[in-house]
Amino acid sequence: MFDPTDLYRLDDDIPELTDPVLLYHFEGFVDAGATGRLAMAHLLAKLEHRVIVKFDHDRLLDYRSRRPIMIFDTDRWVDCDTPSLVIHLVRDLEGTPFLLMTGPEPDREWELFVKAVRSVSDRLGVSRLVTAHGIPMAVPHTRPLGLTPHGSKPEVLENVAGAGTGPFGRVQVPGSAAALIEYRLGAEGYDALGFAVHVPHYLAQAEYPQAAVTALDAISLSTGLIFPMDELRAVAETTTAEIQEQIQASEELATAIKGLEQQYDAFTAGTQRQNLIAENIPMPTGEELAAQFERFLAERDERDS
């Protein structure tokens, strides 16, 4: 029987913590609009933090499926971007400590990894585990972003906005390490909560800061943690303005977004509708819309460089 504590190394110098929240997001699974990645990166960029747990990435990752970048200079190798799966100790704006687990999603030993997360949670007295990511939806960016909360038990979702009102019933989807943590630990009585932010499908492949704002607002409301949001909100507003600029310059895009707005409004107005395609209006596909926005974003990057 393998020992899950062999999968990680805990820092010797960890202050005493009182029921900290553990936020987590792994790169590699569906994350429309880079929702989870942007949200966690923003917290690490703006809040005091340090690494206190390191997982054994050599055991957990398949280097041949996602090879690390190495730098070759003239006649020798000078650098390697070694992947890391770690837990940071972070303090919010009021000094409240919490934990933040980030890194690539493990490729192997998922069950042992989940046991390792449980072991770390027990040793650090974690009170609640929370994750967030983005999923592509047929929704317009001109409407407030929705989200689908999910949790390990009903009481975890009490007072959580959007709980029980999402557009999904019973569905079958590919698994993820993040979902397995919630499922396995939830079955053992741990409080685990997640937020799937509804990202416009035509923006799913781009970075969409508004989705990260929505995710962090939901996490803040559900945990009581206070995050610095002004800069991220400003970036989100700028991105939205640039999207509007592209739409106004294209009659095809404007018509498509108008159709999405009509469908979304019809869906939210009538509970008899079972999906987010409320009317049979001819529209470009998500791929066609995304391609147009990708061209716009590429042109913007060239202009700014």
Residues 167 and 275 in one domain: no
Using one digit for the tens of pLDDT, what is the confidence trace for 207-231?
Answer: 999 999 999 999 999 999 999 999 9
- Does the model's pTM come out above 0.75? yes
Residues 150 and 57 in one domain: yes
Answer whether residue 283 shows pLDDT above 50. Answer: no
Which of 206, 228, 250 lies at the terminal end of a domain, its last residue?
A: 228
Answer whether residue 36 shows pLDDT above 90. Answer: yes
Instruction: Calculate mean pLDDT across residues 230-255.
Output: 90
Using one digit for the tens of pLDDT, what is the confidence trace for 139-197?
Answer: 899 999 999 999 998 888 877 766 656 666 788 889 999 999 999 999 999 999 999 99
If one counts the domains in the chain, the total is 2
Answer whether residue 300 shows pLDDT above 60. Answer: no
Instruction: Calculate mean pLDDT across residues 125-140.
Output: 94
Residues 90 and 20 in one domain: yes
Which of 163, 194, 228 lies at the terminal end of a domain, its last residue?
A: 228
Answer whether residue 277 shows pLDDT above 80. Answer: no
**CA 48 to CA 46: how far, in whole Å?**
7
Residues 130 and 197 in one domain: yes
96-135 burial, b if ≥16 CB within 10 A, otherwise e? ebbbbbbbbbbbebbebbbbbbbbbbeebebbbbbbbbbb
Answer whether residue 264 shows pLDDT above 90. Answer: no
Residues 252 and 216 in one domain: no
Looking at residue 272, its pLDDT comes to: 42
Which of 204, 228, 252 lies at the terminal end of a domain, its last residue?
A: 228
**Full domain range(s) for residue 283:** 236-304
Looking at residue 153, its pLDDT comes to: 85
Least confident interval from 48-57, 162-171, 251-260: 162-171
Q: What is the DSSP letter of 160?
A: -
Strand order in the sheet with 49-55: 8-10, 49-55, 86-91, 97-104, 21-27, 128-137, 192-200, 147-151
Least confident interval from 27-36, 147-156, 261-270: 261-270
Answer whether residue 68 shows pLDDT above 70. Answer: yes
Residues 151 and 37 in one domain: yes
